[in-house]
Amino acid sequence: MNPQPKSATMQGTCASMRDPAAEPVRHAVMYQNWCDLTFLHWRYPLDVVRQHVPPPLEVEDFEGTAWIGITPFFLRGLRPPGFPSLPWISNFPETNCRTYVRGPDGHSGIWFFSLDAARLAAVAGARVTYGLPYAWSRMEVTRSGSQIVYHSARTGPLPTASTDIIVEPGATIEAQPLERFLTARFRLYSFVLGQLVSATVEHEPWPLQTARAVKLVQTILPAAGLPDPQESAHVMFSRGVHVRIAAPKRVA
């Protein structure tokens, strides 16, 4: 079972202004809302991360260091243009594992090591159309007082992995250069039939808050072949954003 969040706040309170760094998505093929999202990031040596990112992508660094993130959240209102969202299939938890890259087209973006989602149809569709390494997982996102609780247990087709994360959001913050580097990302890269493609994503600036990881147990990083982090996670929380996603396009 994948229970719905127990609080109205799980729906997210999202603004509607596009982030000035985002490219306009003039012909969106998908709308969705990313709600109650936690950014968990760790610093990694550049040479370690390069081993896991395929050419021609280049790992982007911040002051000489690569970063890898795990971002659990609740996805709401998934729908194509002209159609309403549906009560069950359009709303589900998701968790992705990612790093930050620059493509041969000169754009900055995200490379995903894995994406876990609780709806098999969404997993199958994203793997085929966007070439993304989605996995089907048993997942839930709930509230316990002031804390957000994330659970996931992957069933396939990627190597087994799980999360058991409890986060307590704090005060609102203004994004500094590092926070912008980790969150203001509006392009993903992947391979479809051996061809590098990218897709642009448009949304408003992330409303960010400090956060404390009350519990952080995960096996997503080792499942991706990555070594264990050598220091504590950099943690931020966001109530969410509205998202417009473009179709993937071949990168020349």
Q: Is 64 exposed, middle or buried (0-12, 13-18, 19+ CB in 10 A)?
A: exposed
pLDDT-based confidence at residue 9 (cuts at 50, 70, 90): very low
pLDDT-based confidence at residue 4 (cuts at 50, 70, 90): very low
Percentage of the chain beyond pLDDT 70 is 94
pLDDT at res. 17: 72
Residue in the structure block whose two tokens are 């996670």: 233
Maximal C-alpha separation, the chain: 49
pLDDT at res. 43: 98
- Tell me: pLDDT of 35 over 60: yes
Mean pLDDT of 34-48: 98
- Tell me: pLDDT of 14 over 80: no
pLDDT at res. 5: 37
Which three-class secondary structure string do you get for the chain? Answer: CCCCCCCHHHHCCCCCCCCCCCCCCCCCCEEEEEEEEEEEEEEECHHHHHCCCCCCCEECCECCEEEEEEEEEEEEEEECCCCCCCCCCCCEEEEEEEEEEECCCCCEEEEEEEEEECCHHHHHHHHHHCCCCEEEEEEEEEEECCEEEEEEEEEECCCCCEEEEEEEEEEEECCCHHHHHHHCCCEEEEEECCEEEEEEEECCCCCEEEEEEEEEEECHHHHCCCCCCCCCCEEEEEEEEEEEECCCEECC
Domains of the chain are: 8-250 (2.40.400.10)
Mean pLDDT of the chain: 93
pLDDT in tens, 129-170: 999 999 999 999 999 999 999 999 999 899 999 999 999 999
pLDDT in tens, 86-111: 888 999 999 999 999 999 999 999 99
pLDDT-based confidence at residue 15 (cuts at 50, 70, 90): very low
b (16+ CB within 10 A) / e for 1-25: eeebbeeeebbbebeeebbeebeeb
pLDDT in tens, 207-235: 999 999 999 999 999 999 999 999 999 99
Mean pLDDT of 122-131: 96
